[in-house]
Amino acid sequence: MIKTDIIIIGAGPVGLFAVFEAGLLKLRCHLIDSLPQPGGQCSEIYPKKPIYDIPGFPSVLAGELVDNLMAQAAPFKPGFTLGEAAQDIEKQEDGTFIVTTAKGTQHHAPIVMIAGGLGVFEPRKPPIENIVDFEDKGVEYIIKDPEFYRGKRVVIAGGGDSALDWSIYLTENRIASEVILVHRSSSFRGHLDSVQKVIDYAEAGKITLVTEAEVTGLSGDGKLDKVHITHAKDGEIVKEADHFVPLFGLKPSLGPIANWGLEIEKNAIKVDTLDYSTNIPGIYAIGDVNTYEGKLKLILCGFHEGTIALQSAFARIHPDKKNVLKYTTVNGVNGF
C-alpha cells in the first residue's frame, strides 16, 4: 500500500504543478496515470507544438513545459504509478481514501485530487473495417514526433486544427516527402489563417488537398501501402502511402471515475469554485476534468485551481494549523 498525503489522479500539467504547490505546504503527493509517461495531453497529443499562453513564457513547446514542471516538482519527490488507470475508490471509516488501479496497486491518503483531464484517452477512429490491422503498422491517431514521418508519404484526414496544423508543419519543415490532406467537406473547422495556408500550399503543389472525400479503405502486406479514398464525384482514388493519420479528435471519456459517485455534468466533474471541491468531502477536481460556470479548459486556469484546492486540502489535513501564505521569493523552495 502506497501511503501519501495527496493522491493525484492524472499526471498532466495541472497534476504536476499541484505537486509543487502541495510541496510548499509540506504535503507529499503520489500521482497515478494510465499513460506510461507524465504530461497528459501535452506529452501525448502535441509535445512539439509551441504554447503561447503560459504566463512568463512567450512560447514554450508543450514537451518542454512538461520537462520544466517535472523539474519544478522534483524537490518534493513525488511518487508515480504510471501506466495504470485509477479504477476504484473506497472511503474509509476515518474519512481517508484507498484508490486502487486496474492492475491492483493500492494507494492510501486523506485527500484525492482528480486532475484527469479528458479522462482515459480514446481517439475517434474512422469506420474503416480493417483499420485495427494497420495500427502501429502505418496508422497512428496522434502525431507524437514529427521526425517519425521524415521522408514518408503521409495521408492525414480531418478538418480541424490538428489536421490543418500537422499538414502545414510536415510540409513547411520539409519533413514528409508527400502530404495528402483528405476532408469530407469543402469547408474546414480550423483557424482561418491555417485554412488559407493549406489552400495556398495546395495551389503551389506542396500539399495534395482532397475535399468532399473520405478514406474508406486501407491495404498493404503486413504494413500500410495504399490508402483508398472515396470521392463524392470522382469515385475511388487510390494513393500510395506509408502513413495514414486520421485526426478526428479524442472521445472524451471520464472512464472509471464516472462511477465514483461524483456529480457529473457534460462528462466533467462539478466543483464548488470556492475551493474546487467535489460533492464528496476530501475529493477535489482540478484542470480540464472539472466544470463550473465560466470554466475555461486552459492550462493556466488549471494551475490556479490546483493552488486554491491545495489550500483547502491543507485545512482538511491540518484543521488545527493556520496556514500563512509565504512568497517563494522570501522562503525559497525547501524540498523534502
Ligand X SMILES: Cc1cc2nc3c(=O)[nH]c(=O)nc-3n(C[C@H](O)[C@H](O)[C@H](O)COP(=O)(O)OP(=O)(O)OC[C@H]3O[C@@H](n4cnc5c(N)ncnc54)[C@H](O)[C@@H]3O)c2cc1C
Q: Which residues bind ligand X (CB under 6 A)?
A: 9-15, 32-35, 40-42, 45-46, 51, 53, 85-86, 115-121, 162, 255-257, 287-289, 297-300, 302
Q: Please say which residue, 102 or 237, places its beta carbon nearer to ligand X.
A: 102
Q: Please say which residue, 70 or 298, places its beta carbon nearer to ligand X.
A: 298
Q: Please say which residue, 10 or 110, places its beta carbon nearer to ligand X.
A: 10
Taking the CB of residue 232, how many other CB atoms lie within 10 A of it? Answer: 12
Closest residue to ligand X, based on beta-carbon distance = 117
Q: Please say which residue, 23 or 158, places its beta carbon nearer to ligand X.
A: 158
Least separation in angstroms between residue 85's CB and ligand X is: 4
Q: Please say which residue, 300 or 317, places its beta carbon nearer to ligand X.
A: 300
Q: How far apart are CA 295 and CA 31, in angstroms?
A: 24
**Residue 3 exposure: Cα atoms within 13 Å on the Cβ side:** 1
Least separation in angstroms between residue 139's CB and ligand X is: 19
218 and 139 Cβ atoms separated by less than 8 Å: yes
Taking the CB of residue 332, how many other CB atoms lie within 10 A of it? Answer: 9
Q: How far apart are CA 21 and CA 284, in angstroms?
A: 15
Strand duo 235-240 + 226-231: pairing: antiparallel
Least separation in angstroms between residue 179's CB and ligand X is: 18
Grid coordinates representing 233 are: 464525384
Least separation in angstroms between residue 321's CB and ligand X is: 28
| Backbone phi, psi, residue 194, to 5° | -70, -40
Alpha helices in the chain (DSSP H): 13-24, 40-44, 62-73, 161-172, 192-203, 299-317, 328-331
Q: Please say which residue, 83 or 217, places its beta carbon nearer to ligand X.
A: 83
Least separation in angstroms between residue 254's CB and ligand X is: 7
Burial letters 271-285, b for 16+ CB under 10 A, else e:
beeebbbbebebbbb
Least separation in angstroms between residue 132's CB and ligand X is: 21
